[in-house]
Amino acid sequence: MNAIADQYAGQNIGSIFLYTHEAHPGENYPYLTSMEQKFRHAHDLRDVLGVTRPILVDALDGACHRAYGSMPNMTWIFARSGLIVYKSDWTDAHSVENAIQYFAQIPQRRKAGERLAPFHVERLDYRNQERDQFYKALERNGPKAVEEFRKAFPMG
């Protein structure tokens, strides 16, 4: 996602990361109990995981996360007007880039004389599960995170 944000920044397309909470808390990154702790975790997203986009930190109670659907890895794209133009219950770089490419061409299409009218689409996308990368992230959180995930999802 960093690469996509960098690629489109020159087109006046911004990208942020909203840090809500640890999806799989463990000994190293436990359940959040204070904003200070939450800010430390957010700093680690930048410093340890290399998130280069601006990171916004949700309230401790997750108010923003709940307002936008509470899914663990969502992506939303908003037009400058605030209109929601893309919403996904899972972040997948290919899907997000496809949407950005589509919406970035709208101004040129209008300038070329097309009379465009919005409509809603629902589609099913597919993502690469990247199991090894996922388990490395779990291990970063601590052995408890790995153990709890394996108990909850034995085939995971």
Share of the chain above pLDDT 70, in %: 99
Q: Read off the pLDDT of residues 41-60 as tens digits, 9 standing for 90 and up.
A: 999 999 999 999 999 999 99
CATH number of the domain where residue 113 is located: 3.40.30
The residue among 117 and 154 whose pLDDT is bigger is: 117
pLDDT-derived band at 131, boundaries 50, 70, 90: confident
Query: Among 98, 150, 79, 94, which Cα is nearest to 127's?
Result: 94
**Whole-angstrom Cα distance, residue 92 to residue 97?**
9
Mean pLDDT of the chain: 93
Over 60: is that where the pLDDT of 156 sits?
A: no
Contact by Cβ (8 Å): 35, 56: no
Instruction: Assess whether pLDDT exceeds 70 at residue 71.
Output: yes
Handedness of CA 62, 67, 70, 73 (dihedral sign): negative
pTM (two decimals): 0.86
The average pLDDT across 111-134 equals: 93
Q: What is the pLDDT of residue 129?
A: 86
More confident residue, 13 or 134: 13
Residue 70: predicted pLDDT: 92
Domain that includes residue 91, residue range: 2-152
| Number of domains observed in the structure of the chain | 1
pLDDT above 60: residue 113: yes
